């Protein structure tokens, strides 16, 4: 495996435009070594090496200290933050909430939320799409996983997701601005902690269980498998992860649908064939195959988790013939790998047919990383895909979705990959 080295410290170039920097690096080699602020980094864009890092040698890597600290401030020691045995144990405790039979149960509530949203969808003026789907996905996750109404937590959860994104760049702010932002974050977290404590107390006092994720967490605290603080960390993490990524994926998907009339026509034809004039039903999900293809192609081009940073722990390692020094940070970028022309011809073209039946067999593993890979693959990926499928299919069934004239797509790599310019679309009711 040939390694290309960039001689100078690349901190400024990487921070100013990380997507261009990584795409430029990938054009030269599958393995590029460089320093960021004096720390050795290795960018890999080879499926076998990615597999080696995420699967074969996963125990030798963990999240970087900066990533862990910036997340733990908001998410504590949740499954999204911890590594090693702690991560595996916490994931095992949460996994039953995402089993197939549970997803089938959740589908009933998801469909009900989507149908209510469609009935009240904004059609008189262009709709701020991300705001609309953010409220929908938060309503779903609060009801389905925690059995509560989103109304009294909605605004604070929106503020929390914004604070997590903003915190990534605060180390360069003047000290007075940084202090003010951190004080606002603390006040926000105190309000959310109080609300979650009430949520746990109410569920403990409930006469009968609901069988949802909150029940699972409360039972774990009662069996001394988890503290109340740990339950709080998992709850707030799943609030955030359970709605923000899905809402961003839906924002990108609706934009792609509006910009590609041929795709929109195929989506609508599928919706009419599957549920037509009747109401959407949970059992329609497996038949909405093209809708799922559109969502996968959306997450190929615009993966919300656009980059992974992993630090090699306390030993040197030879990775498929490639020597890595202890302390090296490995970078994997789904955004770059999923736009590699070796795996996706004409990679900039939006083509859902790439994900037709059997797609997993026609290209190497670990060339589609939108939900991560290995032991840290997204625990809620099927939950998210089901929720997004119901939403997208329902919207194209009821509305013609039109873009703003001359909209310019420009992805911005913050905590999540998001559009630089607000996505405002017109939803014209179908007669």
Q: Taking the domains of the chain in order of start, what are their residue ranges?
A: 76-303+338-429
Query: Is CATH 1.10.630.10 what the domain over 76-303+338-429 is classified as, yes or no?
Result: yes
Please tell me the distance from the alpha carbon of residue 384 to that of residue 242, in angstroms, as a whole number.
Answer: 7
Please tell me the distance from the alpha carbon of residue 385 to that of residue 403, in angstroms, as a whole number.
Answer: 24
The predicted pLDDT at position 344 comes to 97
If you count them, how many residues does the chain have?
431
| pLDDT single digits (tens) 144-159 | 888 887 677 777 887 8
| pLDDT single digits (tens) 335-373 | 999 999 999 999 999 999 999 999 999 899 999 999 999
First to last CA, the chain: 59
162, 167, 287, 353 from 361: Cα distances, Å = 38, 40, 21, 14
Residues of the chain under the 70 pLDDT cut: 1-2, 11, 150, 168-178
Contact yes or no for 338/303 (Cβ under 8 A)? yes
The predicted pLDDT at position 306 comes to 95
Paired tokens of 109: 């509530």
């Amino acid at each position: 495996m040939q390694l290309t080295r960039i001689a100078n410290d690349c901190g400024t170039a990487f921070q100013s435009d990380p997507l261009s920097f990584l795409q430029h690096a990938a054009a030269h080699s599958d393995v590029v070594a460089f320093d960021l602020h004096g720390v050795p980094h290795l960018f890999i864009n080879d499926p076998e090496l990615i597999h080696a890092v995420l699967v074969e040698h996963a125990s030798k890597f963990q999240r970087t200290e900066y990533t862990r600290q910036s997340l733990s401030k908001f998410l504590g020691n949740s499954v999204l933050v911890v590594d090693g045995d702690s991560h595996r144990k916490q994931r095992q405790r949460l996994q039953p909430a995402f089993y197939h039979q549970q997803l089938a149960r959740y589908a009933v509530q998801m469909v009900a939320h989507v149908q209510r949203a469609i009935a009240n969808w904004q059609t008189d003026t262009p709709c701020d799409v991300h705001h609309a789907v953010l409220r929908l996905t938060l309503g779903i996750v609060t009801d389905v996983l925690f059995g509560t109404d989103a109304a009294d937590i909605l605004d604070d959860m929106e503020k929390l997701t914004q604070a997590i994104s903003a915190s990534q760049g605060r180390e360069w702010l003047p000290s007075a601005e940084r202090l003010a932002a951190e004080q606002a974050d603390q006040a926000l977290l105190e309000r959310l902690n109080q609300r979650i404590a009430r949520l746990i107390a109410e569920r403990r006092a409930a006469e009968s269980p609901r069988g949802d994720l909150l029940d699972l967490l409360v039972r774990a605290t009662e069996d001394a498998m988890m503290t109340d603080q740990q339950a709080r960390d998992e709850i707030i993490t799943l609030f955030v992860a359970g709605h923000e990524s899905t809402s961003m994926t839906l924002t990108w998907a609706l934009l792609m649908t509006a910009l590609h009339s041929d795709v929109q026509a195929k989506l609508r034809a599928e919706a009419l064939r599957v549920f037509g004039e009747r109401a959407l039903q949970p059992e329609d999900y497996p038949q909405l195959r093209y809708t799922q293809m559109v969502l996968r192609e959306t997450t190929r081009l615009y993966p919300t988790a656009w980059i992974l940073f992993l630090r090699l722990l306390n030993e040197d390692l030879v990775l498929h013939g490639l020597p890595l020094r202890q302390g090296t940070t490995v970078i994997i970028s789904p955004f770059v790998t999923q736009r590699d022309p070796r795996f996706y011809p004409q990679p900039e073209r939006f083509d859902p047919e790439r994900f037709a039946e059997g797609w997993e067999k026609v290209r190497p593993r670990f060339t589609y990383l939108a939900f991560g890979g290995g032991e840290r693959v997204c625990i809620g990926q099927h939950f998210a895909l089901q929720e997004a499928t119901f939403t997208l299919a329902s919207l194209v069934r009821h509305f013609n979705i039109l873009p703003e004239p001359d909209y310019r797509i420009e992805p911005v790599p913050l905590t999540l990959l998001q559009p630089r310019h607000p996505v405002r679309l017109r939803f014209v009711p179908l007669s």
